[in-house]
Amino acid sequence: MDAHANKVTASDLDPSEDSAASAGPLHSVLPDRQALSAVSAWVHDHSDDIFTDIQDLVRLETPSTDKQLLDQAVVWLRQRTEQVVGAPEDTKVFDGREYGDVLALTYGGTGDAVVTFLCHYDTVWDAGTLSDWPVTVEGDVAEGPGIFDMKAGCVQAIWALAAVRRSGLTTPTVHMLFTGDEEIGSEGSRDIIERYAALSDLVMVFEPSEKGRIKTQRKGTGRFFATVEGRAAHAGSHYEQGVSALDELARLTLALHGLTDLAAGTTVNVGVAHGGTRSNVVAALATAEIDVRVSRAAEMRRIDTALAEIRPHHPQARITLTEGWNRPPMERSELTTGPYRIARSVAALLDCELGEIAVGGISDGNFVAALGVPVLDGMGAIGGNPHARGEYISLSGSLERTAIAAGVLAALRVRHP
């Protein structure tokens, strides 16, 4: 199958369908325990296939910046989804240009609800990582680059949809989105994600769980770049004629760190700084990279105000701040707790415990919540060590999460009018 077949752009989404989902809480009708048990049994009966798919996808290296490798993963995801779930009613491959493409597969349902599955197939791992860190399986633990974040979640999404479609239970229409640039900010996929989210009653994000828990709150994040311009001078004979960019950057760093409010869930960190040329020259230029994390939209506004008011200490220095917010916070609200309660109830019928947690990390679920669309985030793998050597998943946990996701699909009804 050609990775470039049927490529479209975000503008090819039908504008007439761009209406946001109706306001109101999610409504669910839980399947009975026997029906859910049958779904879970079907998932467990296909455990070997699921585990093989996870390993096969991990063995396709997909660094966010390698377009050729990303294209190979799109082909695999498209083929495997069609083999497991069946032929979709609609297939779109949105051209990511320099980023990974977005694969969108739509499966019609037997109910009125509409759900979007949100998965990313890119990872933080460079090509060649598998050469000295291959996929391994020991007992219940599988390890490999990107397996936790979030190759296993992609596979779980495929098999969850297959399980519920074969169960005879009511199934919503499902848009399956596989994106290829989440780890580098979702610049190419954000518009597509938001367009599909606006059509949905629920977006289920197959990002990995945090200690097995659903993520009902995420911080928003901003990445800012500071450029400080001064004036060079001999540090010995003409010191007073210089304007030190490094002096300004040091003062700016203290001011920025002073904006941190741990009680409010806000951190501001100058993580990278460069400046100057030689020790005997007053530095004419300095730069810094700044990471900002906030738990509430009000804190975004406070930080914005503070940044707008920054002025250099020396009147002849100049400070320029560029870039800005990448993702708004996903605040804990009915948009996140409502779907979580449904998932927790489904898990209970399967004799599983499902907790919730607030995390500092971000996902594409942040975009969804900002639109006012319910989001169930962290439905992916159970495991640990994301973005680190030793990244792993629990294989039995993947089966459990797949069954829960299928149960949520079966339980979902349209929101109250």
Query: What residue type is assigned to position 253 of the chain?
Result: T
| Residue tagged active-site, from 182, 183, 207, 377 | 182
Residue 182 among the catalytic residues: yes
C-alpha distances (whole Å) from 165 to each of 137, 189, 404 are 30, 28, 14
- Residues shown for the chain: 417
Which residue's structure tokens are 């009804």? 413
Q: Tell me the CA end-to-end span of the chain in Å, nearest whole number.
A: 42
SS3 content of the chain, % helix, strand, coil (to 5): 35, 25, 35
In the block, residue with structure tokens 């810094």? 288
d(CA 143, CA 145): 7
**Does the bond joining 150 to the residue before it have cis omega, within 30 degrees of 0?**
yes
Cβ contact 246:202 at 8 Å? no
Helix (H) or strand (E) holding 271: strand 267-275
**Residue-by-residue DSSP string for 96-140:** -TTSEEEEEEEE--SSS-EEEEEEE--BSPPTTGGGTS--EEETT
The structure tokens listed for 358 are 């607030």
> Which member of 61, 71, 122, 391 is catalytic?
122
| Nearest residue to 115 (alpha-carbon basis) of 364, 374, 402 | 374
122 as an active site residue: the answer is yes
The residues carrying an active-site annotation are 122, 182
